[in-house]
Every structure is written in structure tokens, then in C-alpha cells.
Structure 1
Amino acid sequence: MTNNLPECPVEIALLMIGEKWKFLILRELIRSHGKALRFSELKSGINNISDKMLSKNLKIMENAGLISRRVFAQVPPKVEYSLTELGTTLTPVLRSLFEWGTMYKQYVENKNEKENENE
């Protein structure tokens, strides 16, 4: 994958994290404040994600170096996921998106209030 990266850095970033599920997986791992999460913990924090989609995205993100996967040799098997050092560098990106989303939500609410006042 790294041999065929686009020239544009924005395009590279979107390639790595641009899908909805990847952002939400990152959100859950950032919220854990460094605590590794099991598959079921990740799934419970992300609305409407299927096991297949979560598994697929975790593998992609692991291959990209954003998350690490730790397998414990026990029965039943236990697997935990955490952010890598590289993945942790995405925290400010998600924080900025959170702040923008909060601002936009307030904008929409204010706009709706004004429209309701004018009726």
C-alpha cells in the first residue's frame, strides 16, 4: 500500500482514516485513555457496526500501523486493541472534528430556533 500512496498528503490521510468506521474506532480507542479494548468493548461503543465491518477495519488499521492487536494465549481466546504511537498522533485530528461538529450542531440549532421564531 505504501508504494502506491497518492502525492497529496490530504488524500493520504483520507486513505488511512477517511471511512466512517475508522474514525469511530479511533474515537473509542482515544476515549479509553490508553486502555486496550476488547472487540466487544469496541463494538458496544459504535452504533450499528457489524462484526464483519469492525473486524475488517481493525485489520486494515493494524496493517496501516494505527492500532496494535495483542492476542493472549488462553481459552477462550482474548484479543485486545490499542492505539500505536502513530495512531495516537491522530488525537488532535479527532479533537478538531469533535469541536467542529459541536460548533455545527449549535449553528443548526440556532438556525432552527430563528426559523421557529419567524413562523
Structure 2
Amino acid sequence: MKDAVFPDCPIRNVLARISSKWSLLVIYTLDRTGKEAVRFKELQRAIPDISQKMLTVTLRTLEEDGYVTRTVYPEVPPRVEYALTLRTRSLLPHLNALIEWASENKDAIMEDREKSARSK
């Protein structure tokens, strides 16, 4: 694991991409819809503070890394749906554990932030 501190370490690269500002939120949202696949606009409505461009970039990155699949249906207008892959489904228990930890510790973390801000 010592190699993980070096910039060209594959583990560091994977963690950096999956922990980008929007990636985990998009994965979480896709899972929470309870649907097998979700249309772009539905996903955009579920995450109101993400721009269309950033959602597109995030979905493309997640697709490149094999976290989501993108299916385009030959309709007019075109229908595009996104779904989580099996790889991502294996990540969900870890993501849910992280969310649970954050929920359990959020009040203490916010208090520490306030203390730090007051001491500056």
C-alpha cells in the first residue's frame, strides 16, 4: 500500500476519479431511484445543483471506468438511460457505510469547523 502515495499509482488514480465532487453523488442517486435505469433528465432533476455539462462529464467518466452503462434508444427524440454496473453494485455497501459514518459524525464535524473558524 506504500505505493499509493505516488502520483502514478493506479490505486490513487482510481480513488481520485471515484471521489470527485460529483461521482459518488451520481452513483448514490442512481441507486436510490430504485429503478434499473434512469434517464438523463430524471437524474438531473434529482441532483438540482449539478449543471448539465458537469452531469454529462461525470457520467462519461463513470462510463469510461465501468461504473455505469449508457444505453441510447433509436427514438425521436433519442432516449438515453444510465444504469449501475455489477462493479458499482459491489461498491454500494462501502458507499453506504461511508454515508452512515458521515451521518453519525456530521454534528461533531460541523462543531469542529465552527470552532476552527472562530479561532482564526
TM-score class normalised by the smaller sequence: 0.7 to 0.9
Question: Is the counterpart of residue 7 in structure 1 residue 16 in structure 2?
Answer: no
Q: For residues 20-63 of structure 1, give each alpha carbon's deviation from its aligned partner in whole angstroms, at most 9, with x where no partner exists.
A: 21011001111123520000111111131000000011111101
Amino acid at match of 1:70: T
Matched length: 107
Contact 1:34 1:83 (8 Å CA) reproduced = no
Question: Is the counterpart of residue 50 in structure 1 residue 51 in structure 2?
Answer: yes
Q: Tell me which residue corresponds to 2:26.
A: 25
Report the RMSD for the aligned CA atoms in angstroms: 2.3
Q: Tell me which residue corresponds to 1:100.
A: 101
**Unmatched 5+ stretches in structure 2:** 1-6, 113-120
Q: Tell me which residue corresponds to 2:116.
A: none
Q: CA deviation at 1:8?
A: 6.0
* 1:49–1:83 Cα change, 3 Å: same
Amino acid at match of 2:36: K
Q: Tell me which residue corresponds to 1:83.
A: 84
Q: Tell me which residue corresponds to 2:117.
A: none
Q: Aligned residues: percent identity? A: 36
Give the structure-1-normalised TM-score. Answer: 0.78
Q: Tell me which residue corresponds to 1:37.
A: 38
Q: Tell me which residue corresponds to 1:117.
A: none
Q: CA deviation at 1:82?
A: 0.3
Give the structure-2-normalised TM-score. Answer: 0.77
